[in-house]
């Protein structure tokens, strides 16, 4: 297999929540979450260093759908804060921490490897920094978020994790 | 593979992310119990299959998750336009002959 | 150096000899040769046998349009590729190729007797000949007798029988401009487009080297253009890459050959790569294909296209013969004549159909000592495995052809003019326009949604030297003669076949194509299309554009199956979804079945146990002690919002408004037609929060349906659903000892029967893990379903297993689960239902909320025919002999010997040996079934009808006392 500096690594254990909320509630949620939730669809925002205490991720993947991702240890605290702040608001907050598994794909061939299964255009003009979206990778659905030019954060449903890893490993053979 | 502009995420995506869910603007009777068998049968099963422009529904199932409407030309497969659920079909300039 | 090579020039490396075999014989070619050029360099012209008549065939062309020289290249049993065009195969050290469609050998082919039977093999011979004998029935005769014989006799290469061990890669790519074809026009288009650094350009060409016709000249321009393109970061150059299909909205599929040219490719490297390109603009620079002249005997080895001869001479340094005749209707073939002369080949004659060929060219020819015969044609050829001579015919002004001299030659270079290669434009659904001046179809208006631009020869704009043409067969003195003038070399279609089809009433070009097979198969009419149209036009006395044109289909040339499969084979064919407890179940010896993409444990055989013994033991464990079951694959949805209960009331047949917090309800889902499509359990976690389960297979469908109603039908409802299928691992603990097993592991939940009754739901901890615990049962025994975060599932499983073991219980699989639920008459959606059963039909009428004004399916199930008497209803069946287990799907009748054609009363939906009842049981749907209790019906089987008694579908514990224990 060709050598490549591009690495696929597993994300550390994380707490994940799906928030469904209107614009007003979104602002309230952002205030207690410690990170303003993105206003535009298919946009990601983050604060702090990945996996470290205080790290916050917010991805807007649908017109009223947000994914909030924090280090596993902070999940219960974040949940309690949001529950309190959003009490009385018309919204939905659901714990999906274990529903998905996360990966980081980083390195010069990251976009090429993604293009082995995903029909999106990963050119920076078409898929700029900060863009996050669901799409398809080969035969599965995935979420891909561009954190840097060569760094992509990926989430797939838990049972699809091994398939995603195997397909990326297979695609590495094509880095010729 | 077609490219479809999702009116919610305003992004042109590959057909793989979508699912076709049949004809658009078929509204569920507000009080189904008052319909006759014939009317209900019409609602359930009768659909147009035009040669040319058709209004249909699509689901951005592997994207933003929204159902939306589209006008598609069944001859050329071209999407003339897409618009959000609940919106009326936009007025179209008369069809250019292919 | 071989006498078939020129002294110098060309793009072959004369210092690097390459050894290869063809039909087992060793030859030497040069680096840069194709198999075709290397064979010609060894004086080999006979390379194949024709499809129907097994006529000896040689190399006609020099590129993708080659119809004759189809070969099989073998690396090993799995790496064997049939039907490759020798003109496209690059040779490498040790290449082994063989010819096709011959037996026992190419030189001596028994199938050539077909040529004697050729009157039988004319147009439509399949349809006319192979209709009987009647006693077998005509279809049987075809399938058993004729098809296998014909397939063997008239076939191409054989598919390899061993699995293909190679890798195939796949990539999506996006560009502003895709240029197909790297000849001069394509290179210039790529240079122009890529001058803008923001414009991403992909340039592909199916040959090993870019340059197209320029490779014949070896110009410095070419080197410079390729260097410039190569230096631009916005340009991707793809050689050995065929654009084989153009699809909607600028989608183009490219097949790139990565290792086929290598002597020892690494097994790690993909053999081919599929590019799925999305291009803003498609620039087609695919050039033109020369049309053969249609004259009797035009298929003898040694008869070649003039442009191909020129290419072989100039690019590959080949002397394809000793003494050549050039036959043409077009100036360009004079170039071939001069190239041959230059290569040291004797030129016996130029035979030009035109009265007045270009005077300058004719003068040059004469100056070079080449006799030019004007208004002349070839009217026949001699020779068997190689052309030996041609007969010259003079076309009189009145049109009559008079046969004159015979000219000895071993090479005929022919040109009937040029045809733009419009295959890809046609695939893009663009309209082709007829150009009477050049006698070709050329690209017209783009199809809607496509942006293409044809540049160079494929646009139909020909330089003057390429303009002469002749559509159809050449005039001949012998219109009715037996000699064959071939139109479609690959499919063995002659001019006569097309005229015959027209005479027999096939006037549509689409019908003629299918009747004669011209333009079909892998060739797609590359060299035959225009001649076939010309002949048809003459036969029907209609101008060519009035006849119409058949569609050019993808792929342009054949593509491997491997490239479409990509990585999706063996273990990666589909995703394999495994539950969190999968490894644990596997360690116990679980036998798994596929349920959708999921692996579910079907049963857990112990040493020496048959499947039935294991299932029976697992059933006993649940009925007598306790069983543990992995239910994690069930679909799960969390529904939240102030209107969540209202939404559930509207979608399910049941009522939920009054469901208490901490309570569960079995829920039935129908579609608007009133038919059962899913079922599950709905639990209320809070006033505005519900945990819903769906069937394993229905999870995605139900989620999409709920979303549809939430978004589009009732957008005013404030409720949101989230899929939590994979958030939880779900374990069922079922049986009289279920509480005894679970209670010691539970914290924070009062487990007493009164405190935690049947159909209640509690949150607490199990083995220290936060859990949602449901008291529910799909077995008929008291039981629980424990939901823990999926990541904790693998940790909880052994704890539960250990507790169950200690209580004398066992783990059970899906088969035991099916038996246990059938004993209770619980339906499985998709087994007892088939999309036409209402809740009442399957005995679930009780679940329907009576006071609800409306819900999905309510109106549907009120339809006249859905409430009419005599509908099929769920019942139980017992075989009267108490031992026969019925076949699922077997029909049920009221008589043991139903008259042929009479309708069945219903069918068996589930059938098992019941360990609890020590007898076979079955569920069935039977017309008016609930009114037939106690009746004897019959299940007709090949071995005789089996009498059955209609009984209640609830076989075990009909009062349900055990559920509440």
Q: CA nearest B11 in A: which residue?
A: A42
Global pTM value: 0.94
Q: Give the model's confidence band at A71: pLDDT under 50 very low, under 70 low, under 90 confident, else very high.
A: very high
Residues A24, A90 share a domain: yes
Q: Is the pLDDT of residue C57 over 80?
A: yes
Please compute the mean of the pLDDT values over residues C260-286 and round it to a whole number.
Answer: 97
The token duo for C850 is 């009576």
Q: What is the pLDDT of residue B97?
A: 41
Domain-embedded: residue A7? no
Domain-embedded: residue C399? yes
Name the more confident of C323 and C399: C323
Instruction: Report the gap between the CA of B64 and the closest CA in chain A (Å).
Output: 4
Q: CA nearest B78 in C: which residue?
A: C449
Residues C180, C277 share a domain: yes
Among A55, A71, A95, the domain-final residue is A95
B96 touches chain A (CB under 8 A): no
- SS3 string, C264-329, reads CCCCCCCCEEEEEEEEEEEEECCCEEECCCECCCCCCCCEEEHHHHHHHHHHHCECCCCEEEEEEC
Inter-chain touch C568–A158, beta carbons under 8 Å: no
Name the more confident of B1 and C596: C596
pLDDT (tens digit, 9 = 90+) per residue, B21-72? 999 999 899 899 999 999 999 999 999 999 999 999 999 999 999 999 999 9
Kindly provide the ipTM of the predicted complex, given to two decimals: 0.98
Subunits in contact with chain B (3 or more CB pairs closer than 8 Å) = A, C
Residues A128, A148 share a domain: yes
Q: What is the pLDDT of residue C151?
A: 58
Which one of A95, A123, A137, A173 would you mutate to disrupt binding with C, by most C Cβ within 10 Å of its Cβ? A173
Q: Which of C99-108, C225-234, C946-955 has the lowest mean pLDDT?
A: C99-108
Domain-embedded: residue A6? no
Q: Is the pLDDT of residue B77 over 50?
A: yes
Inter-chain touch B78–C249, beta carbons under 8 Å: yes
pLDDT (tens digit, 9 = 90+) per residue, C817-875? 999 999 999 999 999 999 999 999 999 999 999 999 999 999 999 999 999 999 999 99
Residues A83, A117 share a domain: no
Residues A122, A52 share a domain: no
Domain-embedded: residue A5? no
Q: Give the model's confidence band at C140: pLDDT under 50 very low, under 70 low, under 90 confident, else very high.
A: low
C residues 771-810 lying closer than 8 A (beta carbon) to A: 789-792
DSSP string, C80-116: EEEEEETTTPBP-TTEEEEE-S-SB-SSSBGGGHHHH
pLDDT (tens digit, 9 = 90+) per residue, A15-54? 999 999 999 999 999 999 999 999 999 999 999 987 789 9
Residues C736, C712 share a domain: no
Residues C72, C126 share a domain: no
Inter-chain touch A62–B16, beta carbons under 8 Å: no
Q: What is the pLDDT of residue C248?
A: 93
Across chain A, mean pLDDT equals: 96
Please compute the mean of the pLDDT values over residues C769-784 and round it to a whole number.
Answer: 97
Domain that holds residue C833: 587-632+727-837
Instruction: Report the gap between the CA of B4 and the closest CA in chain C (Å).
Output: 10
Which one of C726, C729, C763, C765 would you mutate to disrupt binding with A, by most A Cβ within 10 Å of its Cβ? C726
CA atoms within 13 A on the CB side of A28: 18
Q: Give the model's confidence band at C145: pLDDT under 50 very low, under 70 low, under 90 confident, else very high.
A: low
Q: Give the model's confidence band at C112: pLDDT under 50 very low, under 70 low, under 90 confident, else very high.
A: confident
Residues C137, C17 share a domain: no
Domain layout of chain B by residue ranges: 3-28+40-84
Assign A1 to helix, strand or coil.
coil
Residues of chain B with C-beta less than 8 angstroms from the C-beta of A141:
62
Residues A132, A62 share a domain: no
Q: Is the pLDDT of residue C549 over 60?
A: yes
Residues A139, A153 share a domain: yes
CB C164 within 8 A of CB C79: yes
C724 touches chain A (CB under 8 A): yes
pLDDT (tens digit, 9 = 90+) per residue, C934-959? 999 999 999 999 999 999 999 999 99
Which one of B3, B12, B22, B72 would you mutate to disrupt binding with C, by most C Cβ within 10 Å of its Cβ? B3
Residues of chain C with C-beta less than 8 angstroms from the C-beta of A91:
720
Residues of chain B with C-beta less than 8 angstroms from the C-beta of C251:
1
Q: What is the pLDDT of residue C622?
A: 98
Nearest to A159 among C173, C276, C578 (CB): C578
C851 touches chain B (CB under 8 A): no
pLDDT (tens digit, 9 = 90+) per residue, C303-324? 999 999 999 999 999 999 999 9
pLDDT (tens digit, 9 = 90+) per residue, C637-663? 999 999 999 999 999 999 999 999 999
pLDDT (tens digit, 9 = 90+) per residue, C202-220? 999 999 999 999 999 877 8
Please name the residues in contact with C815: beta carbons below 8 A apart, sequence gap of 6 or more. Answer: C602, C603, C611, C615, C618
Inter-chain touch B64–A135, beta carbons under 8 Å: no
Q: Is the pLDDT of residue C135 over 80?
A: no
Residues A129, A81 share a domain: no
Please compute the mean of the pLDDT values over residues C388-401 and round it to a whole number.
Answer: 93
Residues C623, C648 share a domain: no
B52 touches chain C (CB under 8 A): no
Angle of the C644-651 helix axis to the C699-708 helix axis, nearest 10: 110
Residues C259, C188 share a domain: yes
- Phi, psi of C424, deg, nearest 5: -70, -40
Among A65, A95, A125, the domain-final residue is A95
For residue C824, the domain's CATH number is: 3.30.1360.120
pLDDT (tens digit, 9 = 90+) per residue, C793-813? 999 999 999 999 999 999 999
Q: What is the pLDDT of residue B96?
A: 45
Please name the residues in contact with C810: beta carbons below 8 A apart, sequence gap of 6 or more. Answer: C604, C617, C618, C621, C622, C625, C627, C628, C804
Q: Give the model's confidence band at C142: pLDDT under 50 very low, under 70 low, under 90 confident, else very high.
A: low
Domain-embedded: residue C204? yes
- SS3 string, C694-718, reads ECCCCHHHHHHHHHHHHHHHCCCCC
Q: What is the pLDDT of residue C171?
A: 98
B21 touches chain C (CB under 8 A): yes
Q: What is the pLDDT of residue C165?
A: 94
Residue C594 CA to residue C592 CA, distance in Å, equals 7
For residue C361, the domain's CATH number is: 3.50.50.60
Residues of chain B with C-beta less than 8 angstroms from the C-beta of A135:
13, 17, 62-63
Domain that holds residue A29: 14-95
Residues C301, C285 share a domain: no
Residues A76, A22 share a domain: yes
Across chain C, mean pLDDT equals: 93
Residues A44, A20 share a domain: yes
Nearest to C707 among B41, B65, B77 (CB): B65
Residues A65, A49 share a domain: yes
Q: CA nearest C791 in A: which residue?
A: A98
Q: Is the pLDDT of residue C482 over 80?
A: no
CB C167 within 8 A of CB A172: no
Q: Is the pLDDT of residue C125 over 80?
A: no
For residue C699, the domain's CATH number is: 3.30.70.1400
Residues A87, A108 share a domain: no
For residue A108, the domain's CATH number is: 3.30.1360.120
Residues of chain B with C-beta less than 8 angstroms from the C-beta of C672:
28, 43-44
Instruction: Report the gap between the CA of C602 and the closest CA in chain A (Å).
Output: 19
Instruction: Report the gap between the CA of B76 and the closest CA in chain A (Å).
Output: 22
B49 touches chain C (CB under 8 A): no
Residues of chain B with C-beta less than 8 angstroms from the C-beta of A65:
64-65
Residues C250, C130 share a domain: no
Residues C437, C366 share a domain: no
Among A73, A95, A117, the domain-final residue is A95
Query: Structurally, how many domains does chain C consist of?
Result: 7
* Domain range B3-28+40-84, CATH class: alpha beta
Residues C282, C172 share a domain: yes
Residue B14 CA to residue B4 CA, distance in Å, equals 6
Nearest to C711 among B19, B41, B66 (CB): B66
Domain-embedded: residue C338? yes
Q: CA nearest B79 in C: which residue?
A: C449
Domain-embedded: residue A122? yes
Domain-embedded: residue C389? yes
Query: Structurally, how many domains does chain A consist of?
Result: 2
Instruction: Report the gap between the CA of B43 and the closest CA in chain A (Å).
Output: 30
Within C625-659, where are the H helices? Answer: 644-651
Domain-embedded: residue A89? yes
Inter-chain touch C248–B2, beta carbons under 8 Å: yes
Residues A159, A112 share a domain: yes
Q: What is the pLDDT of residue B98?
A: 38
Domain-embedded: residue C556? no
C589 touches chain A (CB under 8 A): no
Residues C190, C257 share a domain: yes
Please name the residues in contact with B76: beta carbons below 8 A apart, sequence gap of 6 or more. Answer: B98, C429, C447, C448, C449
């Amino acid at each position: 297999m060709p050598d490549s500096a591009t690495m696929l690594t597993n994300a550390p254990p994380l707490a994940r929540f799906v928030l469904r909320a209107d614009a007003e509630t979104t602002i309230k949620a952002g205030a207690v979450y410690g990170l303003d939730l993105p206003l535009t669809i298919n946009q990601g925002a983050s604060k702090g260093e990945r996996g470290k205490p205080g790290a916050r991720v917010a991805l807007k993947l649908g017109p009223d759908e947000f994914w909030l991702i924090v280090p596993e240890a902070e999940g219960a605290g974040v949940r309690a804060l949001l529950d309190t702040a959003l009490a009385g608001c018309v919204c939905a907050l659901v714990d999906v921490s274990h529903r998905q598994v996360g990966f980081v794909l980083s390195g010069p061939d990251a976009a090429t490897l993604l293009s082995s299964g995903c029909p999106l255009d990963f050119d920076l003009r078409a898929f700029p920094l900060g863009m996050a979206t669901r799409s398809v990778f080969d035969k599965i659905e995935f979420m891909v978020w561009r954190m840097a030019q060569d760094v992509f954060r990926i989430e797939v449903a838990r049972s699809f994790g091994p398939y995603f890893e195997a397909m990326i490993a297979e695609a590495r053979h094509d880095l010729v | 593979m077609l490219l479809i502009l999702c009116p919610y995420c305003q992004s042109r995506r590959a057909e793989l992310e979508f699912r076709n869910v049949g004809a658009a603007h078929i509204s569920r009777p507000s009080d189904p119990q008052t319909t006759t068998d014939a009317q209900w049968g019409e609602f359930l099963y009768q659909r147009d299959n035009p040669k040319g422009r058709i209004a249909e529904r699509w689901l951005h199932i592997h994207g933003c998750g929204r159902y939306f409407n589209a006008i598609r030309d069944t001859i050329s497969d071209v999407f003339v336009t897409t618009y959000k659920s609940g919106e009326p079909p936009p007025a179209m300039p008369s069809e250019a002959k292919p | 150096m071989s006498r078939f090579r020129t002294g110098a020039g060309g793009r072959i490396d004369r210092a690097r000899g390459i050894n290869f075999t063809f039909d087992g014989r060793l030859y030497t070619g040069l680096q840069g040769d194709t198999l075709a050029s290397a064979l010609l360099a060894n004086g080999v012209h006979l390379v194949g046998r024709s499809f129907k008549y097994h006529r000896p065939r040689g190399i006609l062309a020099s590129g993708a349009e080659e119809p004759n020289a189809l070969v099989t290249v073998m690396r090993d049993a799995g790496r064997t590729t049939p039907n490759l065009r020798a003109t496209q195969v690059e040779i490498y050290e040790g290449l082994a190729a063989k010819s096709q469609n011959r037996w026992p050998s190419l030189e001596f082919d028994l199938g050539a007797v077909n040529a004697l039977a050729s009157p039988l093999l004319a147009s439509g011979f399949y349809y006319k000949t192979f209709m009987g004998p009647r006693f077998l029935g005509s279809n049987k005769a075809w399938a058993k007798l004729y098809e296998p014989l014909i397939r063997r006799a008239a076939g191409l290469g054989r598919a390899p029988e061993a699995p293909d061990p190679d890798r195939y890669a796949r990539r999506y790519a996006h560009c502003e401009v895709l240029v197909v074809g790297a000849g001069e026009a394509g290179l210039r288009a790529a240079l122009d487009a890529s001058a803008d650094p923001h414009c991403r350009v992909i340039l592909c060409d199916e040959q090993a080297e870019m340059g197209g016709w320029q490779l014949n000249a070896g110009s410095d321009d070419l080197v410079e253009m390729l260097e410039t393109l190569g230096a631009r970061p916005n340009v991707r150059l793809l050689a050995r890459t065929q654009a084989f299909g153009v699809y909607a909205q600028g989608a183009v599929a490219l097949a790139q050959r990565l290792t086929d040219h290598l002597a020892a490719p690494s097994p790690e490297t993909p053999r081919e790569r599929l590019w799925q390109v999305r291009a803003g603009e498609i620039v087609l620079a695919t050039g033109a294909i020369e049309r053969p002249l249609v004259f009797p005997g035009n298929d003898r080895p040694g008869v070649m296209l003039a442009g191909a001869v020129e290419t072989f001479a100039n690019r590959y340094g080949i002397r394809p013969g000793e003494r050549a005749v050039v036959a043409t209707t077009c100036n360009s073939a004079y170039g071939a004549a001069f190239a041959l002369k230059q290569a040291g080949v004797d030129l016996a004659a130029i035979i030009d159909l035109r009265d007045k060929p270009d005077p300058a060219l004719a003068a040059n020819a004469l100056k070079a000592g080449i006799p030019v015969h004007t208004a002349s044609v070839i009217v026949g050829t001699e020779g068997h495995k190689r052309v030996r001579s041609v007969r010259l015919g003079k076309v009189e002004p009145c049109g009559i052809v008079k046969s004159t001299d015979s000219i000895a030659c071993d090479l005929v270079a022919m040109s009937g003019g040029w045809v733009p290669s419009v295959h890809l434009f046609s695939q893009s659904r663009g309209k082709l326009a007829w150009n009477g001046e050049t006698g070709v179809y050329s690209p017209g208006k783009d199809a809607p949604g496509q942006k293409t631009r044809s540049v160079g020869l494929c646009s139909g704009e020909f330089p003057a030297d390429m303009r002469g043409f002749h559509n159809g067969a050449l005039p001949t003195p012998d219109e009715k003669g037996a000699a064959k003038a071939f139109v479609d070399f690959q499919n063995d279609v002659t001019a006569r076949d097309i005229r015959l089809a027209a005479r027999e009433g096939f006037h549509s070009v689409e019908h003629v194509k299918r009747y004669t097979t011209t333009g079909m198969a892998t060739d797609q009419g590359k060299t035959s299309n225009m001649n076939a149209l010309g002949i048809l036009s003459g036969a029907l006395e209609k101008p060519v554009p009035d006849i119409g044109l058949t569609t050019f289909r993808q792929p342009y040339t054949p593509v491997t199956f491997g490239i479409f499969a990509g990585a999706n084979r063996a273990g990666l064919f589909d995703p394999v979804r495994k539950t969190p407890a999968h490894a644990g179940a596997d360690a116990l010896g679980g036998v798994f079945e596929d349920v959708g993409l999921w692996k579910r444990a079907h049963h857990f055989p112990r040493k020496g146990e048959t499947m039935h013994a294991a299932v029976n033991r697992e059933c006993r464990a649940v009925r007598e002690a306790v069983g543990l079951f992995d239910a994690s694959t069930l679909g799960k949805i969390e529904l939240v919002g102030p209107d969540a209960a209202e939404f559930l009331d509207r979608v399910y047949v049941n009522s939920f408004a009054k469901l208490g917090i901490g309570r569960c309800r079995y829920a039935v889902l129908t579609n608007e037609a009133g038919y059962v499509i899913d079922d599950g359990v709905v639990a209320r976690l809070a006033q505005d929060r519900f945990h819903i389960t769906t069937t394993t297979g229905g999870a995605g469908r139900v989620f999409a349906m709920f979303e549809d109603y939430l978004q589009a039908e009732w957008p005013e409802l404030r409720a949101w659903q989230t899929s939590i299928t994979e958030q939880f691992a779900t374990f069922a603990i079922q049986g009289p000892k279920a509480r005894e097993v679970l209670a010691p592991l539970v914290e924070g939940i009062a487990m007493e029967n009164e405190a935690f009754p049947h159909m209640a739901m509690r949150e607490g901890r199990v083995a220290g893990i936060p859990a949602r615990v449901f008291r529910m049962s799909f077995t008929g025994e008291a039981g629980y379903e424990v939901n823990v975060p999926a990541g904790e599932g693998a940790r909880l499983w052994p704890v539960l297993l250990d507790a169950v073991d200690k209580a004398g219980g066992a783990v059970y699989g899906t088969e035991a689960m099916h038996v246990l639920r059938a004993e209770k008459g619980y339906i499985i959606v998709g087994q007892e239902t088939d999309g036409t059963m209402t809740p009442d039909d399957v005995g679930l009428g009780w679940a329907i909320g009576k006071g609800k004004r409306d819900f999905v399916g309510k109106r549907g199930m009120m339809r006249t025919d859905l409430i009419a008497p005599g509908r099929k209803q769920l019942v139980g069946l017992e075989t009267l002999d108490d031992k026969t287990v019925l076949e699922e799907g077997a029909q049920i009748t009221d008589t043991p010997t139903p008259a042929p054609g009479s309708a069945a009363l219903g069918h068996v939906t589930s059938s098992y040996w019941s360990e609890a009842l020590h007898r076979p049981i079955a569920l069935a749907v039977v017309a008016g079934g609930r009114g037939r209790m106690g009746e004897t019906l019959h299940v007709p089987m090949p071995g005789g009808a089996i009498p059955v008694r209609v009984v209640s579908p609830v076989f075990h514990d009909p009062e349900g006392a055990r559920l509440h224990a």
